[in-house]
Amino acid sequence: MLAGMLSMIAFRGILLLAVIAAIGCQPSTPPAANSLSPPSSPPSAAGVESAQPEEARDPQARLLAAYKAAHANKDVEAMLKLYWFGSADAEMRQTIRENIEAEMRCPLTDIMIEPMEPGQHGSREEGGIRWRPSREVVALLTANFDTSRAPPGGYQTQQVQLTVGRRDGACYFTVPLRD
More confident residue, 126 or 53: 126
CATH architecture observed for domain 53-178: Roll (3.10)
Task: Delimit the domains of the chain by residue range.
Answer: 53-178
Q: What are phi and psi of 36, to 5 degrees?
A: -90, -10
Partners of residue 163 on adjacent β-strands: 140
- What is the average pLDDT value for the chain, to the nearest integer? 75
100-114: pLDDT as tens digits:
998 998 999 999 999
**Predicted confidence (pLDDT) at residue 142 exceeds the cutoff of 70:** yes
Q: What is the reported pLDDT for 153?
A: 73
pLDDT band of 56, cuts 50, 70, 90: low
Asked if residue 143 lies in contact with residue 67, where contact means CB atoms within 8 angstroms, the answer is yes
94: three-class secondary structure by DSSP: helix
List phi, psi (to 5°) of 166. Answer: -125, 150
Q: Each residue of 68-121: pLDDT tens digit?
A: 999 999 999 999 999 999 999 999 999 999 999 989 989 999 999 999 987 787
Distance CA 24, CA 17 (A): 10
Backbone angles phi, psi at 163, to 5 degrees: -80, 145
Return the pLDDT at 141. Answer: 96
The C-alpha atoms of residue 110 and residue 18 are separated, in whole angstroms, by 55
Is the model's pLDDT at 178 over the cut of 80? yes
